[in-house]
C-alpha cells in the first residue's frame, strides 16, 4: 500500500511539469535530455520520437526499468495522448526523480507539431 500511496502523493503534488510539444522539442535538442516512451511497441504506427527509450507503463518490469535510470538526468515522458505519461511521470517523481516533464498531448501533439 505504501508504494501506491507514494505514487498517488506524487501525482497529487505532481512534482513534474506538463509541457507542450514545442517546449519538448526545444528540451529534447538540449544535450542530456532523455526521452521515455511509455507506450507499447504495437503503438509505434502512430509515430515515435527519435532517440526515445521504450519503457512500457503496462509491462510488469516498468518499475524495475525506471529504477535503472539516472535520477540526475532530465526526462521528457510521452505516450499517445498524455495520460499514461502523466502517471509514469508521477511514478518517477515518487521514486526520487526531480527533472521530469510530461509531453502534454503525447505523440499526437508531437505529430501535429511536425506537420
pLDDT band at 82 (very low <50, low <70, confident <90, very high): very high
Model pTM score: 0.87
Would you say residue 85 has pLDDT above 60? Answer: yes
The backbone region for 17, taken as left when phi is positive above 0, alpha when psi lies in -120 to 50, beta otherwise, is: beta
Domains by residue range for the chain, with CATH = 2-114 (3.40.250.10)
Confidence of residue 14 (pLDDT cuts 50, 70, 90): low
Residue 35 reports pLDDT greater than 60: yes
For 53-93, give the DSSP string.
Answer: EE--TTSTTHHHHHHTS-TTSEEEEE-SSSHHHHHHHHHHH
61-70: pLDDT as tens digits: 999 999 999 9
What is the mean predicted confidence (pLDDT) over 34-45?
Answer: 95
Write down the pLDDT at residue 9: 46
Amino acid at each position: 500500500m505504501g508504494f501506491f500511496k507514494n505514487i498517488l502523493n506524487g501525482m497529487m503534488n505532481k512534482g513534474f511539469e506538463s509541457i507542450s510539444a514545442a517546449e519538448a522539442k526545444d528540451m529534447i535538442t538540449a544535450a542530456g535530455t532523455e526521452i521515455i516512451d511509455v507506450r507499447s511497441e504495437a503503438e509505434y504506427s502512430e509515430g515515435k520520437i527519435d532517440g526515445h527509450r521504450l519503457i512500457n507503463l503496462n509491462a510488469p518490469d516498468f518499475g524495475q526499468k525506471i529504477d535503472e535510470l539516472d535520477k540526475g538526468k532530465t526526462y521528457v515522458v510521452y505516450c499517445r495522448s498524455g495520460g499514461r505519461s502523466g502517471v509514469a511521470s508521477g511514478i518517477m517523481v515518487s521514486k526520487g526523480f526531480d527533472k521530469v516533464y510530461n509531453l502534454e498531448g503525447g505523440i499526437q501533439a508531437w505529430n501535429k507539431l511536425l506537420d
